[in-house]
Structure 1
Amino acid sequence: MVILTRLNGKTFTLNALYIEQVEAFPDTTITLTNGKKLVVKETISEVEKHVVAFYRKINVLGLQQDMEV
């Protein structure tokens, strides 16, 4: 799970496995596998770092702890 921030400042957790794509319109918009869209304060780069850290934590795709983003 990753912790993100809505535009109103409230934080929420998201299961990163459900993220299909992340775009900037200019706000960062996350599209989930079910088609739902979430708009967050974090940049695309920040979302990517959170997701990679989550994947490392759960050892998805064999990502090693010592790899750099």
Structure 2
Amino acid sequence: MITLKRLNDDEFVLNAILIEQVQSLPDTTISLINGKKIVVKDNASDVIQMVTDYYQDIGLARVQVKAGEEDE
């Protein structure tokens, strides 16, 4: 789980496994696997770092490396 801020500064927690895509449009927009989109105040590079850290914490980063997806 990662903690993010909405544009009105309200914090919320998101299950990072549900994230499909992160874009800067110019606001950071997170697309989830269920089709929902969330606009957050955090910049895209910070969101990506939080997701990467979360994946490492739960052991998913090793799965990506074994699958050959290290550069994606």
TM-score by length of 1: 0.87
Identity of aligned residues (%): 49
RMSD: 1.1
2:4 corresponding residue in structure 1: 4
Secondary structure of the structure 2 residue equivalent to 1:42: coil
Provide the aligned length of Structure 1 versus Structure 2.
Answer: 63
Deviation, structure 1 residue 61? 3.4
Superposition deviation, residue 50 in structure 1 = 0.3
If each structure's helix is expressed as a fraction of its own residues, which one has the higher value? 2
After TM superposition, what 4+ stretches of structure 1 lie above 2 angstroms from structure 2? none
TM-score (normalised: structure 2): 0.84
Find out whether 1:21 has 2:31 as its counterpart: no
Gaps of 5+ in 2: 64-72
